Amino acid sequence: MTNQTSAELSTDLLTQVVRLLGILVTKGLPKDQMTQGEQILLLSSAGMHPKEIADLLGTTAGTVSVRLSEAKKKAGVKEKKKNA
């Protein structure tokens, strides 16, 4: 058993709810209502990783990463630079 505080448990629960809502929105909309890039951006914003998104959408993690980068550029979201 972990020694999480109630605030940490609440945060974990909210994170799971947001992820689930992202999945439900993505799966519930007709294909012509949201582009793949928009779906990926939504799911990424909900805290999902490229591999998880790829499995959900039936594509590859590489495709998800590229589409996510493109969607962020289109949306004007700056990406964090990775330190080497």
User: Which pLDDT value is given to residue 79?
Assistant: 62
pLDDT, tens digit, 9 for 90 and up, residues 34-76: 788 888 888 888 888 999 899 888 899 999 999 988 887 887 7
Residue from 6, 3, 49, 58 nearest 27 by CA? 58
For 72, counting Cβ atoms within 10 Å of its Cβ (0-12 exposed, 13-18 middle, 19+ buried), the class is middle
Instruction: Give the ranges where 1-84 is alpha helix by DSSP (H).
Output: 6-28, 36-45, 50-57, 61-75
Residue in the block written with tokens 């994170």: 15
State the Cα–Cα distance between residues 80 and 63, nearest whole angstrom: 19
Residue in the block written with tokens 């998880």: 52
Ranges 8-12, 31-35, 48-52, 79-83, most confident: 48-52
State the Cα–Cα distance between residues 28 and 53, nearest whole angstrom: 15
